[in-house]
Chain A
Amino acid sequence: MNRRKRLFPGLAWASAVLLGLSPAAAQNTDKGVNLGLYRNQPPAPTGPAGKLADGTPDLSGVWLGGGANDADISDPRGLKAGSQVIMLPWAADLVKKRQSKEDPEANCLPAGIPRGSPYPWRIVQTPTHYFMLFEGNIHSYRQIFMNAQHPADPDPTWFGHSVGHWEANTLVVDTVGFNDKFWFDYKGHPHTEKLHTIERYTRTDQGHMTIEVTIDDPGAYTQPFTTAGRATLMPRAELLEYICQENNQDLQRLEGPARGPGGR
């Protein structure tokens, strides 16, 4: 095995680790915890998850991780047991043709749902709206309308129209009205405007959250599938600015078929 083959699979795996798909994502050091790309961070607390004054589970904080493997959403390590990603023939053909430079992410366009990034994000809860503020993902935000209904015919958008409700300690977010522009991952898994996602966020303790996302798109996949992701709290972290369009020199030099950060 040559050096390239040794190096890049390691990076691909690291990408999965970044997104919190490995329980070992936080590695202890003498100065703190290595979490994703960030070394020597304060460790995530492990006490019981808290509640807001009105009794609603408290999801607030700065989190690192996401709902799916952003290198390849079909990787079994990022899927719920028994889930399988089976594309319709046109979608499978499209994945084979897609080029890295066409990836909306590389073009500083939104990542949609559920593709994550190695940058942290924050949840803000108000009585009527929940917000997800993304440091990466082009420094954008999502809004979730609590206990609301979808409009009859929403205009297609990058993040769709999201409504949320609580099922015990799990926040359930139902989203429709997507455009068909974003990619699920670096490999280029596609979707159509028929996409319907159901996200389930559960804060299992103060410092950790599981994120499951059911992806139902009969326009591109033979059956729904469910991802199994997780996020880790970054205590005392604050979001920083990230304006991707500022100096995106890479696009002009990207070559070859769509593939993960590590090359596969």
Chain B
Amino acid sequence: MRGGFGITLASAILLASAGPVCAHHSGAAEFDSNKKIDLTGVVTKLEWTNPHAHFYMDVKDASGNVAHWNLELASPNVLIRNGWSRNSLKAGDQVNVTGAQAKDNSTVGTAAVITFPDGHKLTFLAADNEK
């Protein structure tokens, strides 16, 4: 498999699906790619910090209980070079987030794709503004 992996596939995985690519620790040691998350809620805070940006969102279940999620992104430097700004995601934004949950089953995850009601998207790495 080693020799057969093409750059196109690697880049596609890296830049589009954006699994737990982490710059300073093993993403696989923190997040479980088999534990998919698909959350819809309201952003309560963005931390534009190193080594990772984080955002927090409140997610209501069917019975009205609210879970507080902490979702990890790449570092601000990676995000900035890929089109994000610190204003790309703000408290009060209603979004859908897909990604993977932490291995410890806490309400912590890595955000692969963030979708806004108007259809534009942000990913773990990049602001695509896809409609």
Contacts and interface: CB of A to CB of B under 8 A. Distances in A.
Do A and B bind? yes
Interface string B1-32: 11001011111011101011111111111100
Of B17, B19, B23, B51, most buried by chain A (CB within 10 Å of CB) is: B51
Interface residues of A, number: 57
A242 B51 contact: yes
A118 B78 contact: yes
A27 B7 contact: yes
A101 B19 CA distance: 20
B50 A243 contact: yes
A118 B23 contact: yes
B102 to A, nearest CB: 5
A248 B7 contact: no
A254 B23 contact: no
A4 B19 CA distance: 10
B80 interface: yes
A253 B30 contact: yes
A37 B74 contact: yes
Contacts of A247: 47, 49-52, 54
Nearest to B102: A253
A94 interface: no
Contacts of B24: 105-106, 108, 117, 136, 244, 250
Given A38-B82, A247-B51, A254 B29 contact: yes
A262 B27 CA distance: 7
B26 A260 contact: yes
Given A14-B10, A38-B78, A105 B50 contact: no
A250 B22 contact: yes
A253 B74 CA distance: 16
A221 to B, nearest CB: 23
Contact of B25 (A10, A41, A251): A251
A11 interface: yes
A253 B26 contact: no
A242 B29 contact: no
Interface string A231-264: 0000001001111101111110111101111110
Given A38-B78, A135-B77, A240-B80, A186 B26 contact: yes
A9 interface: yes
B108 to A, nearest CB: 7
A24 interface: yes
13 contacts: A8-B28, A13-B2, A14-B10, A27-B7, A37-B21, A39-B126, A136-B24, A240-B76, A242-B77, A248-B51, A254-B30, A261-B27, A262-B28
